[in-house]
Amino acid sequence: MNVLYTTPTMITSRSFISQCLIGLALLSATAVFTQTATAETITGQLGNVRAEISYEKPEEYKYKNVRLKIIRAGKTVLDQKQLQENEYDRPVGNISGQENNLPVRDLDGNKEPEIIADFFTGGAHCCSYSLIYRYDKKSQKYIKIRHEWGNGGYRLRDLDKDGLPEFDSQDDRFAYAFTAYAASGYPLQIWHYRQGKMVNVTRRYPKLISNHASELWQTYTQARQQGDDGKGFLAAYLADKYLLGQGQDGWGRVQQAYKNSDRTKFFADLRKFLRETGYIR
């Protein structure tokens, strides 16, 4: 910070002008930091359906007046302020990676685009969620559902090549379940949107699950080499094996790999958790 030192002597006209200019600069800087909120907009469009999320950003990481507008053939059908969980709850564009892009996609093949409004609640690890809007022709209104992604997000991918995208994600329930967040592993989770609902279709993709399980096992091996017990990755690996219908084989590998003194309790807790989360049927 530059500090202006003055002496008791009389200020010349030149130095007076200099100080005035400095004062104006300080006032201008203050005005920048106290200026009104910056208005920003995220947009997306498919055919004659256009969606816009606008918001004000008065301070870093704090958001106000978040609004969603949906326009059909030039007519505004929905213009609604979004309820925020906290002042950090904010739109993030497309979670799957395209910033400042609001996904407008036909998710279920009915020739009617859905709008996916992605949000992040703030925090070190949590949480992201999507509001998915579909058009109801009978009421001529948009109906929404909310889907939680937790610490992770998703990628929109046409995994079965049928022209409709799936939500390629992970099971966030495994975060912190057996170890710290950084050492937690996550089973594969795949969703698709049909008739206004999100449906878990992970078991339909055995090849992807198998590849994912192999990656988890490799990550477990690397974790062990770095001094971690790898429990978080073993738990997710075993969940993937159950998705493949190979639970018994998975248990054999896990029990052979994990020899720590808490193995009895870990195995009991893991079995209970897999049953509660639906992996063991």
In this prediction, what percent of the chain has a pLDDT beyond 90?
69
SS3 assignment for 151-220: CCCCEEECCCCCCCCEEEEECHHHCCCCCCHHHCCCCEEEEEEECCEEEECHHHCHHHHHHHHHHHHHHH
The pLDDT of residue 152 is 83
Q: How confident is the model at residue 100 (pLDDT cuts 50, 70, 90)?
A: low
Residues 128, 149 contacting (CB under 8 angstroms): yes
Residue 4 has pLDDT above 70, yes or no: no
With a cut of 80, say whether residue 82 has pLDDT above it.
yes
Confidence class of residue 93 from pLDDT cuts 50, 70 and 90?
Answer: confident
Lowest mean pLDDT, pick from 11-15, 27-31, 32-36, 161-165? 11-15
- In this prediction, residues 241-253 reach a mean pLDDT of 98
Mean pLDDT of 52-69: 83
pLDDT score of 274 more than 90: yes
Looking at residue 24, what is its pLDDT? 38
Which tokens is 134 given? 């579909």
38 vs 49: CA distance, rounded Å: 26
In angstroms, what CA-CA distances link 170 with 62, 140, 143, 200, 261? 28, 34, 26, 11, 29
The top-scoring range by mean pLDDT among 9-23, 114-128, 252-266 is 252-266
DSSP 3: -
Contact 156, 105 (CB under 8 A): yes
Q: DSSP label at 61?
A: T
The confidence score (pLDDT) of residue 224 equals 95
* Cβ atoms of 71 and 50 closer than 8 Å: yes
At 249-270, the pLDDT tens digits run: 999 999 999 999 999 999 999 9
Scan for tokens 């920003």, then name that residue.
Answer: 40
Q: Which comes out higher in pLDDT, residue 69 or 24?
A: 69
Go through the domains of the chain in sequence order and give each one's CATH number.
37-153 (2.40.128.460), 154-281 (no CATH)
